[in-house]
Amino acid sequence: MAYYDITRAFDEEMPVFPGDPLISVKQQENDGCRVKALSMSTHSGTHIDAPSHYIISGVTVDRIPFETLIGEARVIELPAVFGSI
């Protein structure tokens, strides 16, 4: 079976959950290296919510077997609804 990373790339235009801060990417002062500061909510972009997010005694992400997070997926382009969740 082939595996594909279907993570959406981060950018400052991507939608966020209502009430969460917008994603911010800022170029840091140049000291000879390319460094950026990234600020975002943990609910930004492609992610999972572990049971511990809702249940105090729930399982944390580090305890979820990797195989549980793998499955079939279909990627569908929806440009008309870009900007909304």
50's CB contacts (< 8 A; 6+ apart) are 58, 59, 60, 61, 63, 64
Q: Out of 8, 43, 47, 53, which one is annotated catalytic? A: 53
What is d(CA 16, CA 44) in angstroms, rounded to the nearest whole number? Answer: 6
Note if 53 is an active site residue.
yes
In this structure, what are the phi and psi dihedrals at residue 20, rounded to the nearest 5 degrees? Answer: -80, 155
What is d(CA 38, CA 36) in angstroms, rounded to the nearest whole number? Answer: 6
Q: Active-site positions?
A: 53
